[in-house]
Chain A
Amino acid sequence: MLKILYNPILLLSILFISSNAASANDAWMHSYTLETAGKYTAAAESIEEYLKQTPPNEFAELRSGWLYYLSGNYSRSITHYKTAIKINKKSIDAMLGMSLPLMAQARWREAALQTKNVIKISRFNYIAHTRLMTCEENLKQWVSLQKHAEEIKHYYPSEATILVYLARAYFHNSNNKKAKETYQQVLQRYPGHLEAINFLAK
């Protein structure tokens, strides 16, 4: 072992590799620090060098997508998520990630398609289903929202969010009785839920 320390070439190589690793680590650390400080664009720029790598760095694309979404640059965010999906077609992270800037741009149909792509891979993915419900609500697809929420609530019986979507769908489908019953179930899970309280007070 000591012989290694006396081999100057090997020693220099080890020092070079560890300094590179430290600098890479620093870049990611710096990016997380900037994100925590709310400097999202700067956080994305701090990892820009990883976007130029060959082979492409999937995680750098995902993280850039997320940071540009937080910064409000939705089109740039979508570009990075699209690249991440090209690199890894199975990436649920990328598909769910991309649904966020699409929803922010009110591109509800395209966002719904992304969540449906996730559901094809992961049938009862909670995030995909609730985001799809958001899309259905904004597209005013009340009939499909009702059917969707009625099915998914069985898999997440303690969840209030799905019941809120279901209650809204019942209301818009002119079923006030079911809407009230569902809002009561929401209050059992989330006693201070304002929407449920206001609806039941009518």
Chain B
Amino acid sequence: MTHYTRKRIFILILSYLLPNTLFADNESPWYVSTSANINLSVFSESEIIDTQTELSFFIDADYVEKFSLSAGLIYQEQKNLNNILNNILYAGGQYHIYPESMPGKVTLSIDTYHEGKNSAVKKTSNNIPGPGGGMPQTTSVTTERISNSLKIVNPVVSFMNYTKSLYADLGYAYSEYASSDTEIEKFNVKQWTPTLGFSFNDQYDWLIFRHYNIDLSNDSRSPGITKTSAYEIKLTHWVKNTDNSSLDNLQFSFLTGDRLFTVDHDARKVYNLSDMQTAALSIGGNWKYKNKSSFYIYTGLEEYKNIFSNNDYYNIFIYSGYKKNW
């Protein structure tokens, strides 16, 4: 599927959803929101990556707390040794169940990410040995266009009690990475993420614990490593007595452990860097305006390790977005 075909499909999905929702009256059971986000990352002390820019756009259509459909496009540009452009298509859905035997809501959701072929430029340095076969005399750089593909299926089952004091979910993500580069072996990643959360302080504070358990089918991208494990803790504080146009909530998160090729279903983010993430810290806030729109900004630090070269490096990121409820 070409890049333009994918764009056409995305526009078709939007045009199918919009007329039924945007112009619906107050009694319409459809609730639509759109969001546009930007994530800028600057990497320090990395031998292979300098910056990453990610732009994403999502549309979510919710049918009165029964089910919802989502679509999106994620554009990534990584400037590094091998410049990479990624255009990832996103589609997702949720279905809510209210079982008689349970004191809360069960939600079945599925997120899918797909990238047919990205545009990557691989630069290879070739040292041409000197006449004696020792010290190189000249160095040539060859540039080769390679293509990578990515497919992710991420189902999640979650439970939230009616009093909104307890939350639990179990997520699974199956990711398949392939490349036309013969040096890179095709591989897949299986990720399990059990999560537990609870509220306190009259539900003005939410604390969520998540465990990432990730299995790689082979170690072609991470020599000697086929299993990683990480723990994340996330605290959200809802601001009391906010007026109509003010800070709505603050969020703090901390991650420790090792994780590779992670899928974060809360942020709808795919960590497709081939380096191991060893820690992360972020803080941010969400401002709402008249329940019609919201603006959010998060900043943080992430630590990585390149397993091939044992190079430890970190990045500072700013993630910001605007969400509009139609």
The residues of A with any CB-CB pair to B shorter than 8 Å are: 72-76, 78, 104-110, 113, 116, 139-143, 171-174
User: With A75-B98, A109-B31, A173-B243 given, is the CB distance from A139 to B162 under 8 Å?
Assistant: no
CB pair A116–B26 under 8 Å, yes or no, is yes
CB pair B100–A75 under 8 Å, yes or no, is yes
CB pair A106–B162 under 8 Å, yes or no, is yes
Q: Which residues of B contact A73 (CB under 8 A)?
A: 100
Q: Which residues of A contact B245 (CB under 8 A)?
A: 174
The residues of B with any CB-CB pair to A shorter than 8 Å are: 26-27, 29, 31, 62, 64-66, 98-100, 103, 105, 162, 164, 241-245, 288, 290-291
Closest to B28 in A: A113
Q: Which residues of A contact B98 (CB under 8 A)?
A: 74-75, 78, 105, 107
16 A-B pairs whose Cβ atoms sit less than 8 Å apart in the complex: A75-B100, A104-B162, A105-B162, A106-B105, A106-B162, A109-B62, A109-B64, A110-B29, A110-B65, A113-B27, A113-B64, A116-B27, A140-B288, A172-B244, A173-B244, A174-B244
- Tell which of A78, A105, A173 has the most Cβ of chain B within 10 Å: A105
CB pair B290–A109 under 8 Å, yes or no, is no
Expressed in whole angstroms, the minimum distance between the Cβ of B66 and any Cβ of chain A is 8
Cβ-Cβ contact count across A and B, 8 Å cutoff: 54
Query: 11 extra interchain contacts, Cβ-Cβ under 8 A, other than A110-B29, A173-B243, A173-B244?
Result: A72-B103, A105-B105, A107-B65, A109-B31, A109-B62, A110-B64, A116-B27, A140-B288, A142-B244, A142-B290, A172-B244
Q: Which residues of B contact A109 (CB under 8 A)?
A: 29, 31, 62, 64-65
A9–B154 alpha-carbon span in the complex (Å)? 72
Q: Which residues of B contact A113 (CB under 8 A)?
A: 27, 29, 64
Q: Which residues of B contact A105 (CB under 8 A)?
A: 98, 105, 162
- Tell which of B27, B243, B244 has the most Cβ of chain A within 10 Å: B244
CB pair A74–B162 under 8 Å, yes or no, is yes
A74–B288 alpha-carbon span in the complex (Å)? 32
User: With A109-B31, A143-B291 given, is the CB distance from A76 to B100 under 8 Å?
Assistant: yes
Q: Which residues of B contact A139 (CB under 8 A)?
A: 291
- Tell which of B26, B98, B245, B288 has the most Cβ of chain A within 10 Å: B98
Q: Which residues of A contact B103 (CB under 8 A)?
A: 72
A140–B244 alpha-carbon span in the complex (Å)? 9
In order of increasing CB-CB distance, the 6 nearest A-B pairs are A75-B100, A174-B243, A110-B64, A107-B65, A75-B98, A109-B64
A105–B66 alpha-carbon span in the complex (Å)? 12
Expressed in whole angstroms, the minimum distance between the Cβ of B25 and any Cβ of chain A is 10
Q: Which residues of A contact B29 (CB under 8 A)?
A: 109-110, 113
A174–B241 alpha-carbon span in the complex (Å)? 11
A78–B288 alpha-carbon span in the complex (Å)? 33
Q: Which residues of B contact A172 (CB under 8 A)?
A: 242-244
Expressed in whole angstroms, the minimum distance between the Cβ of B65 and any Cβ of chain A is 5
Of the residues A72, A76, A143, A171, contact of B290 by C-beta under 8 Å: A143
A73–B98 alpha-carbon span in the complex (Å)? 10
Q: Which residues of A contact B66 (CB under 8 A)?
A: 110
A187–B27 alpha-carbon span in the complex (Å)? 34
- Tell which of A72, A109, A113 has the most Cβ of chain B within 10 Å: A109
Closest to A141 in B: B291
Q: Which residues of A contact B242 (CB under 8 A)?
A: 172
A171–B162 alpha-carbon span in the complex (Å)? 27
CB pair A143–B64 under 8 Å, yes or no, is no
Of the residues B31, B64, B290, contact of A107 by C-beta under 8 Å: B64
Q: Which residues of A contact B244 (CB under 8 A)?
A: 142-143, 172-174
CB pair A142–B291 under 8 Å, yes or no, is yes
CB pair A106–B164 under 8 Å, yes or no, is yes
Q: Which residues of B contact A76 (CB under 8 A)?
A: 100
Q: Which residues of B contact A110 (CB under 8 A)?
A: 29, 64-66
Closest to B105 in A: A105
Expressed in whole angstroms, the minimum distance between the Cβ of A166 and any Cβ of chain B is 15
User: With A116-B27, A142-B291 given, is the CB distance from A75 to B99 under 8 Å?
Assistant: yes
Closest to A106 in B: B162
Closest to A72 in B: B103
User: With A106-B164, A109-B65, A173-B243 given, is the CB distance from A140 to B27 under 8 Å?
Assistant: no
